[in-house]
Structure 1
Amino acid sequence: MRSPPVAQEKFRNIGLIARSESEQALYSLRQLIHFLHGRDCTVILDKHIIGNLPEMGLQAASASQMGESCDLVIVVGGDGSLLGAARTLSRYNVPVLGVNRGHLGFLTDILPSEIESRVGQVLDGEYSTEKRFLLDLEVRRGKTVVGGGSALNDIVLLSGDSVHMIDFELMIDGHFVYGQRSDGLIISTPTGSTAYALSGGGPIMHPKLDAMVLVPLNPHTLTSRPLVVAGDSEIKIHITTEKVRPLVSCDGTEGIRLQVDDVIAIRKKPHRLQLIHPPGHDFYQACRSKLGWSSRPGDGS
């Protein structure tokens, strides 16, 4: 495991990840490659998009190989692209930087028009670092583990393709919390609190918080509210519904189909994502910009 870079360290071996189906992302990727070559950087391209840029003559690698060999990985796309990269790269402690070619861009905060200036600052050692924790998922059926995954934003229990509510029991650190009938439950990190959990009525949590929030989805009671728990908590969900086969999904990926008496276990992942930002990054400014919060009179931010 490499140590986190010090502020003066300059990155030389840089991996690039982007959405192959996005022409805008590929356009920015070409711009970024030319800029990095001009800075004498070695560029390694995600093997899934190497076929989209054959004229560049770059070496290809998987995300895992980038984690082992790169000093920095830059993701060009939306937050979804960075979420996918984070689930692989967090274990390698490699810094990750995001260029926004998506929608909100809470995680990918460099605008396409700023690529050369802002990436240049990072290459010169001018950046801040955040450690974001992920969640680990394990699904047990009796004594057998039938599925698992990890999430930077959230793990979501859903009723799947059924219009019926689901029944489940919630345990936190071995303590029974409640039995619930609802459309599901969102278990979110602070990173994910500005995503699906926010749409479900959950609170916005600062990224530095060591906490998780549990947000019920359309509960069949007026007294069920979002619950914030310690980041080191172990969450277990016992599926008690028989009429419906619900799903559990990590960061919106294809879910694991569940059945009655399955137990979902969720806990903090041992490795954290090392997310870096150019100078001047401000979480509250990002909230104002992305969520439409009011600015001070005369302040355009």
Structure 2
Amino acid sequence: MPKVGIIYNDVKPLACQVAHHWQEKLTSLGYDIHLTTGMGGLLGYSSHERPICHTPIESLAPPHFDTDMDFAVVLGGDGTVLSAFRQLAPVGVPLLTVNTGHMGFLTEAYLNQLPQAMEQVLAGDYEIEERAMLSVQLFHQEELMWEALCLNEMVLHREPLTSMCHFEVEVGKHATVDIAADGIIISTPTGSTAYSLSAGGPVITPGVPVMQLMPICPHSLASRGLVFPDTERVTIRSANPDPLVMVVDGNAGCYVLPKDWICTCRSPYTARFIRLQPPEFFKVLREKLGWGLPHIAKPSSVELP
């Protein structure tokens, strides 16, 4: 019996309604259906009283969501998609992402397109696009204290964000560099259209095998963004006497104490997107962010007599 999963945002009544509707429909067609919410991919925030909330990367997959699952449907916005990939990337389940939120930059279909999309996927008429993910680990001396998988970015900053920090950053085996900024972002190509873009970084097309380091409001004209091969590890140490906060994909975080250090690298796991047609990244940029839209009239090609 083919096995299919549904991950939905249980905060949104419409997503809950659609999830249970498709559970009944697919069950009647002979599929083994398993439901879960996106909450399982939210790693939580640490606090001063409990500075570590360590959940191993491989421990987030919900029960019955495993390598035997053909695919899963995600019902929600970009936050639900990010959470779903943290849950299922380690077991390699491809996801059909359906927008019931707002921006939906990471989603493949809108809710009104779901019947046609499901028909196409059940017929096997789709492609799988793999996106790089980051593994983020926090160490105290040599002991692993916290880790997370992310599709967009890792952000390190002080609380509150309005004060400058000093970072010592080592990319691969290159010499350590000092960066003075409000914070620092390490992003994937997918994350280049998220926080990194707002911080002034470039857009990177998903197939390019690179990562990006982006200072947030750097206190130097020489501290600019850096694009580097995704085969390089990045080590970050704080040169501040106070704790910092690390946030992954905007929804999970932990405190970083002065003697702690962070290691980020490309994860062996990838985000596997189900595509109903060949991926067209520039079309998504144009539709969601307005990239490449003409803002002035083009010169006329008609010659005057």
Q: TM-score, normalised by structure 2?
A: 0.83
Aligned residue for 2:250? Answer: 252
Aligned residue for 1:216? Answer: 215
Letter in 2 for 1:250: V
Aligned residue for 2:8? Answer: 18
Letter in 2 for 1:89: L
Aligned-residue offset at 1:24: 2.3
- Superposed, which structure 2 residues align to 1:169-180 within 5 Å? 169-180=168-179
Aligned residue for 1:114? Answer: 113
Q: Secondary structure at the match of 2:16?
A: helix
Aligned residue for 1:73? Answer: 72
Letter in 1 for 2:264: I
Give the Cα separation in 2 of the matches to 1:39 and 1:192: 37
Give the Cα separation in 2 of the matches to 1:162 and 1:195: 18
- Superposed, which structure 2 residues align to 1:1-301 within 5 Å? 12-37=2-27, 39-46=29-36, 63=62, 65-161=64-160, 163-242=162-241, 244-295=242-293
Alpha-carbon distance change, 263 to 127 in structure 1, aligned in 2, over 3 angstroms: same
Alpha-carbon distance change, 48 to 134 in structure 1, aligned in 2, over 3 angstroms: closer
Aligned residue for 2:303? Answer: none
Aligned-residue offset at 1:233: 0.7
Give the Cα separation in 1 of the matches to 2:145 and 2:154: 16
Letter in 2 for 1:78: G
Judge conservation of contact 2:67–2:92 (CA < 8 Å) in 1. no
Compare 247-256 and 212-221 and name the one that shifted more.
247-256
Give the Cα separation in 2 of the matches to 1:159 and 1:48: 28
Judge conservation of contact 1:132–1:272 (CA < 8 Å) in 2. yes
* Identical pairs, percent: 31
Aligned-residue offset at 1:12: 2.9
Unaligned runs of 5+ in 2: 40-59, 296-305
Q: Deviations over 1:158-180 (max 9, x none)?
A: 11335321111110112224211
Q: Deviations over 1:212-239 (max 9, x none)?
A: 0111101111221110000111000111
Judge conservation of contact 2:8–2:37 (CA < 8 Å) in 1. no
Aligned-residue offset at 1:296: 7.4
Compare 28-37 and 71-80 and name the one that shifted more.
28-37
Give the Cα separation in 2 of the matches to 1:12 and 1:237: 45
Letter in 2 for 1:21: V
Aligned residue for 2:46? Answer: none
Letter in 1 for 2:32: T
Aligned residue for 2:300? Answer: none
Judge conservation of contact 2:38–2:84 (CA < 8 Å) in 1. no
Aligned residue for 1:54? Answer: none
Letter in 2 for 1:44: H
Q: Deviations over 1:175-214 (max 9, x none)?
A: 2242111111110001111111111111111111111011
Q: Secondary structure at the match of 1:290?
A: helix
Q: Which consecutive aligned stretches of 4+ in structure 1 deviate over 6 angstroms post-superposition? A: none
Letter in 1 for 2:19: L
Give the Cα separation in 1 of the matches to 2:65 and 2:85: 12
Q: Deviations over 1:77-111 (max 9, x none)?
A: 01111111111211111111101112221221210
Judge conservation of contact 1:64–1:89 (CA < 8 Å) in 2. no
Unaligned runs of 5+ in 1: 1-10, 50-60
Aligned residue for 1:53? Answer: none
Letter in 2 for 1:292: G
Give the Cα separation in 2 of the matches to 1:138 and 1:225: 24
Aligned residue for 2:43? Answer: none
Give the Cα separation in 1 of the matches to 2:271 and 2:105: 15
Q: Secondary structure at the match of 1:163?
A: coil
RMSD value, Cα: 2.3
